[in-house]
Amino acid sequence: MPPRIEPADPQADEKAAGVLAAMTKAIGLAEPLQLFTVVARHPELAAALTEPTTLLIQGARTDRAERELVILRTCALADCRTEWGIHATALLTAGLLTEDRLDATWSGADPGWTDRERLALDLAESLHRTADLDDDLWRRCRAVWSDEEALELIAAAGHYRLVSLLANATRVPAEPWARRVPGSAA
């Protein structure tokens, strides 16, 4: 199914070409993601989304695996197969999670998470469900993460909720190279 908004044509739109180049470079890819090409139809919005994406992917202070657990679970709870697949592929390629553990971020199963991993998933689930962290969860978060790390993880959940909304509502297709969610067709 094609996206609801025609992807930007960087050959025909100089502003879109510039923002696509910046977005692609910001996360270290050779080619722009399909979501980028759709969002680039609004170059100012695309440019505004680049900075938090860059910070959360390239410049974050949090442990990458913990941050990615928040991102993966946020995407799963939002039923965003497109973005989940992109991040799942990156984690699998980097050797940060096994296939079973990646699949569990989609299903919500517990393959024996560490306390910190479970905490990252609890944070994502609470923010998705209530847009808040109750006092007990906040205390548990603050026992292991600094102010900066807690803020980054909350921002990651919020940012990837926004990314999920954009990808889902505009029907951006999955990247052909990205991992598929458990139980879906290839």
Question: Sign (positive/negative) of CA torsion 39, 55, 109, 131?
Answer: negative
Model pLDDT, residue 185: 67
Model pLDDT, residue 57: 85
Q: Is the pLDDT of residue 140 over 60?
A: yes
Model pLDDT, residue 28: 85
Model pLDDT, residue 186: 56
Which of 74, 37, 63, 48 minimizes the C-alpha distance to 160?
74
| Average pLDDT of the chain to the nearest whole number | 95
**Could you tell me if 50 and 19 are in contact, meaning their C-beta atoms sit under 8 angstroms apart?**
yes
Tokens in use for 145?
A: 């993460």
Residues whose CB falls within 8 Å of the CB of residue 176, separated by 6 or more in sequence, listed in order: none
Domain 64-169 CATH class label: mainly alpha
Question: What is the torsion angle, in degrees rounded to the nearest 10, for the CA atoms of residue 23, residue 26, residue 31 and residue 35?
Answer: -40
